[in-house]
Homo-oligomer: A and B are copies of this chain.
Amino acid sequence: MEFTLLEKTTLYQSFSDLGKRIFLPDGIFYWSGRAKKEAELIGTIGSAFCYDNEITSDGDNEWVPCYLEEIKQYANLGIKDIVPYASIGGLAEFRSIWKDWILKKSGFDAESEKQKLDHLRTYISNPIVTGGVTNGIYMACSMFLNPGETIICPNKRWGNYDNIIVKNIGAQIKSFDFFKDQKINIDGLKKAIMQVKESQEKIVLMLNFPNNPTGYVPSHEEAQNLVELLRESQAQLGVPFIVIVDDAYEPYVYEEKGMLNTSFFYMLQELQDPIIPIKLDGLTKELLFYGGRIGFVTVGLKPKWAKNDKELEQLKDEINNKLEGFNRSSISNANHFYQKVAIKMFQEFGMDKIIQSRDKVKTVLSDRYKKINAELAKLDSPDISVDPNAGGFFLFVNLNKDKVKATEFADYLLKRYKVGVIPIEKPAENINGIRIAYCSIDSDKINEFISRIQKALVDVS
């Protein structure tokens, strides 16, 4: 494939060597595609097929992918829904549904927002299916980071970012203190951007709201400040800004008012070139399919990259080819079963029913969120502070590092009070605290949970 339009964009300019190099050769697909259309006798398909009655006792004369009869009893789906490969970029139907889902999640419902919705529909890439949200992060980071290059992330971030970026890709993380005075630390982020600019001609940044491990969600005002910061610093520096938006916990915002309750991607996508948002989301938490390993990567395109609709479609094809090239050369494709189940759920129940069903889970989590925050608020200790949180699965309690180290505290808490938490202790990044996963704590046990933490705090202070 030629990348005549893509090569002119700031997106391409920001690609890593891998991103520039990767593509999906069309040889086999060209010939198998033609065979499907033009041939009477097809010898291009690399999966075994046969008549059902050649391999099963009760099969009919249908031409099916060869399978083992025993599997039939484990799924209420047809053989064709669980046995064959899904397409490299994901089942076409599923990608189309997920694009609609991204539009739906924008919340651009009002008539007055119709223009925004149309803009979004026009200027996002066809979401590509990855092997889970982790694999989406891996794809996005691989496409933009060479070994040695730097991505900016908050100091409070999912620990696996470090595995993906530093240990696997061999790139670096420029960390900034996420909070200052219980708000997002805009100045700290700005400094990080300025520093990174000194060594590379692009800014790559990854944000995650609701955040793991803190549960932080920006207020509308903070989100607006963040947008302003990105706009101003991009204007000042003149290099492309790639903003990877990790939306793993997207729907789980529990504060009804004042907080950004849609993905930050949507605000970013309204900014002009070269501020380029990449949306990462997936079934994992959104449809509570942890073990499903189905995520999506969606790129925010900019109007100036294409002169007309035809060019825009071509550009989308070029981007799609690159990302499919990455899939093909690392996982080939994502599993069929969970894609099909999700398609069926969307088709048979509809988005609103799915949201309604998920709202039951959200209510459970929201109740715990309120309860645990209320209990923590009662702890009147100068030696702890709870990071601002309004969603997600976790919250984070900072401990006074002069009084107790987080790992020692967690060890004490476990031994003395039989309470398990995850300590995070990174002096170099100014972190000393514990992550509490209230997503898996029974609501009735929250009082006792916090009460024991309080006792432990008294003991160590």
Contacts and interface: CB of A to CB of B under 8 A. Distances in A.
A88 to B, nearest CB: 10
A423 interface: yes
A267 interface: no
A28 B349 CA distance: 37
A291 B445 CA distance: 42
B132 A440 contact: no
A231 to B, nearest CB: 32
Contact of A290 (B54, B84, B163, B393): B84
A420 B46 contact: no
Interface residues of A, number: 121
A127 B46 CA distance: 26
A42 B290 contact: no
A66 B337 contact: no
Interface string A107-122: 0000000000000000
B170 A293 contact: no
Interface string A349-380: 10001100110110011000000000000000
Nearest to A414: B38
A305 interface: no
Nearest to A132: B332
B288 A361 contact: no
Contact of A131 (B43, B71, B159, B331): B331
A22 interface: yes
Interface stretch (A7-15, A75-83, A196-204, A269-277): A75-83
A360 to B, nearest CB: 4
A166 to B, nearest CB: 8
Contact of A31 (B34, B358, B422): B422
Interface string A63-96: 1011111110111110000111110000000000
B68 A163 contact: no
A361 B82 contact: no
Contacts of A211: none
A415 interface: yes
What is the total number of copies of this protein in its complex?
A: 2
Interface stretch (A176-184, A255-263, A431-439): A431-439
Interface string A267-298: 00000000000000000010111111100000
Contacts of A394: 46
A414 B85 contact: no
A141 B456 CA distance: 49
B38 A420 contact: yes
A394 to B, nearest CB: 7
Contacts of A436: 43
Interface of A: 17-18, 21-25, 27-28, 31-32, 34-36, 38-51, 54-56, 63, 65-71, 73-77, 82-86, 131-132, 134-135, 138, 159-160, 162-164, 167-168, 170, 212, 285, 287-293, 325-326, 328-338, 340-341, 344-345, 348-349, 353-354, 357-358, 360-361, 364-365, 393-394, 410, 414-415, 418-424, 436-442, 445, 448-449, 452
Given A41-B452, A44-B421, A134-B328, 17 more contacts: A24-B163, A38-B415, A38-B418, A41-B418, A48-B288, A66-B439, A67-B288, A68-B345, A68-B358, A70-B357, A74-B344, A131-B131, A135-B332, A160-B329, A160-B332, A164-B330, A337-B338
Name the 9 nearest CB pairs between A and B, nearest first.
Answer: A35-B420, A291-B336, A39-B420, A134-B332, A168-B329, A45-B440, A163-B329, A48-B439, A40-B418
8 contacts: A23-B167, A48-B285, A73-B76, A75-B75, A132-B331, A134-B328, A134-B332, A138-B329
